[in-house]
Chains A and B, each alone.
Chain A
């Protein structure tokens, strides 16, 4: 049994919040660079260039990449041989978010859904816990902006809808989203499980290295096919027309009930921010 004190968790979460909001990972940068080379639209090319300049500007000025520093989605993979000491795990994570958003001068965007009164410190986080083997604690912080989150959708398709139904639901979601999620986007798609499992899978699929295919060749082929179809829509960077609407499509699947076919599409903007650490 390994003991981990909650103070280490708080510190790490705070650091990861800042890291995620200030640094875009190389996999995403490479995809934007490649898209800029291919883009035929002058507006599209200018916008992609600005996104790359923005990464430099963020480093130079020490400002977050985007003003929507999101709601903090925190994934914890807890080894089953780990014992958390010193207090509440949930409060430790929220304290980390509180500290990180204050120290990093990030926007506090979280509020009560009905009164619309801001909590003032970007808490609470959305916390996903997973028990795994071993004695490590893996923490992933993925701040999620709502320009893209708002355009995400879930459908309980019929088994008879099949893969064609999945294709048209995904495309319809992207076309309906248009310019709003700040294309070029990355799509996380969860297929199977129950309603909430599909949504969880779609969010988790966004954590994958951008553009890395699903290990299953048939699923990977569907990812490629959807990516092509999305880029053929012409929506383009910022929805002003062009060949780059999506940078990547990530699908994750899970067995489902014989009567159903849940499909969740989580849209991520090009500011695909996540940072991780292992304690």
Chain B
């Protein structure tokens, strides 16, 4: 069963999702990866207002290819989330509601997710062209000088995701592989 979720309308439904739930997400998300996270943190340290809202938002860890002529966006699959781990608890404490990326998160991130009732989705790494087809609109939001690492606002339709870590801390990256590990007995 695949659950269709539209945000921000159904943002409260995210808390009901459990690790392993397959989702098709529609609505607005922002992008940001390594350099954008570094800059967000720097702005927060220096009390400079952010050029966009984090509260109630979802962030997608991606650095797209440049859009060719007539294209909305280039290939835009997820990047490895763990590189954002050291920055993430702070963003969650500011109200970040969900994250989309790939791969394990740190203990600190999961603790902050439980505290703030946030959700972490896995998108399929390497499916950049397929994911680009789900992007209906892309606009530059901030940090243009970061090039492929700039922050964009994306409007997505039916983005295929798997709930990897839910707001209770259930973690498919732990339970999934254990279930399929070969044991001799």
Interface contact A240-B125, CB-CB below 8 Å? no
A82 within 8 A of B: no
Interface contact A236-B128, CB-CB below 8 Å? no
Give min CB distance, A239 to chain B, whole Å. Answer: 6
Instruction: Pick from B68, B129, B178: contact of A58, CB below 8 A.
Output: B129
A255-273 vs B, Cβ < 8 Å mask (1 yes, 0 no): 0000000000000011100
Interface contact A54-B181, CB-CB below 8 Å? no
- Which positions 127-160 of chain A face chain B at CB distance < 8 Å? 147, 150
Interface contact B125-A107, CB-CB below 8 Å? no
Main secondary structure of the interface of A (DSSP, over half): loop
- Which positions 48-90 of chain A face chain B at CB distance < 8 Å? 50-51, 53-54, 57-58, 61-69
Q: A178-B103, A241-B176 are in contact. Are A67 and B128 (CB under 8 A)?
A: yes
Interface contact B63-A67, CB-CB below 8 Å? yes
Instruction: Pick from B130, B133, B182: contact of A232, CB below 8 A.
Output: B182
Q: A53-B127, A58-B129, A234-B181 are in contact. Are A107 and B64 (CB under 8 A)?
A: yes
A105 within 8 A of B: yes
Instruction: Pick from A50, A67, A147: contact of B75, CB below 8 A.
Output: A67
Residue of B nearest to A43 (CB): B162
Residue of A nearest to B133 (CB): A57
B106 within 8 A of A: no
Q: What separation, in Å, do the CA atoms of A232 and B148 have in the docked complex? A: 37
A106 within 8 A of B: yes
Residues on A with beta carbons closer than 8 Å to the beta carbon of B132: 57, 61, 63
Interface contact B177-A239, CB-CB below 8 Å? yes
B71 within 8 A of A: yes
Q: A236-B180, A239-B177, A241-B180 are in contact. Are A105 and B103 (CB under 8 A)?
A: no
Residues on B with beta carbons closer than 8 Å to the beta carbon of A54: 124, 126-130
Interface centre among A43, A68, A271 (most CB of B within 10 A): A68
Interface contact B128-A240, CB-CB below 8 Å? no
Residue of B nearest to A183 (CB): B125
Interface contact A235-B129, CB-CB below 8 Å? no
Instruction: Pick from B71, B103, B172: contact of A63, CB below 8 A.
Output: B71
- Which positions 232-256 of chain A face chain B at CB distance < 8 Å? 232-236, 238-243
B58 within 8 A of A: no
Stretch binding the partner chain, chosen from B8-16, B46-54, B77-85, B107-115: B77-85
Q: Shortest 7 CB-CB distances between A and B: which pairs?
A: A241-B176, A234-B181, A232-B182, A234-B180, A182-B125, A58-B129, A179-B103
9 new A-B contacts at CB < 8 Å, known A61-B132, A147-B80, A236-B176? A50-B160, A57-B130, A67-B76, A179-B173, A180-B82, A180-B102, A238-B102, A240-B122, A241-B180
B contact residues vs A (CB 8 Å cutoff): 20, 22, 35, 62-68, 71, 74-77, 79-80, 82, 102-104, 122, 124-130, 132-133, 147-148, 160, 162, 164, 172-173, 175-182
17 A-B pairs with CB atoms under 8 Å apart are A46-B22, A50-B124, A51-B127, A53-B127, A61-B71, A61-B132, A66-B125, A67-B77, A108-B148, A180-B104, A182-B102, A234-B178, A238-B102, A238-B122, A238-B125, A239-B102, A269-B126
